[in-house]
Amino acid sequence: MATVKSILTESRDIERAVALIQLGARLQVLEYETGLSYERLLRLYKEVAGKSPSKGQLPFSTDWFLTWQPNIHASLFLNIHEYLSKTSELEEIDTVIKAFRLYSEQMTASAIEPLLSITRAWRLVKFVDNGMLTLTKCSCCGGHFVTEPYQNRHFVCGLCQPPARAGKGSANGGLRLH
């Protein structure tokens, strides 16, 4: 017979899985973050999303987060995530969910297309946990941006120094990280 504790754990897992599916997470994220079986998650996914989950590998490389525009979005999300981590007692996956919702809301409010998906946001936090990526302060604007570890102190962010092909001003979509 299932104990009360296992019932509570399971209902929390289902709640998290549903929240993640609604945000568009890949099945692998659900498998990693919940104790629910693959079959159960698959059923839940079809029920909530109304379709089968997409197949294929998760993004494994840190490169995407370091390219110009994705970097600005990733940095915005990570700033929100860091803030929530410091100010709330949420478990990590719940912090990711909450931070991603806030990021999406900010994108909608600013009429900017959100480049970051929940799966990538989750992956980003894992990369930071593993010490493969970090936040570094821009020596120009003082904002904190996703970089590889050990950036030197003269690091300048992609908003202060956009690549030559990008028009300064409108291209940053009004994002500010400080």
The distance of closest approach from Cβ of residue 55 to Zn ion in the complex, given in angstroms and rounded to an integer, is 39
The verdict on whether residue 140 carries a ligand-binding annotation is: no
Positive or negative torsion for Cα 123, 81, 118, 164: negative
175 sits near Zn ion (criterion: CB under 5 A): no
Does 141 contact Zn ion by CB under 5 A? Answer: yes
Q: How many residues bind Zn ion (CB under 5 A)?
A: 5
SS3 sequence of 143-163:
CEEEECCCCCCCCCCCCCCCC
Q: Does 157 bind Zn ion (CB under 5 A)?
A: yes
Q: Does 138 bind Zn ion (CB under 5 A)?
A: yes
Convert residues 52-91 into a mask of x (bound to Zn ion by CB under 5 A) and - (unbound).
----------------------------------------
Binding footprint of Zn ion on the chain (CB under 5 A):
138, 140-141, 157, 160
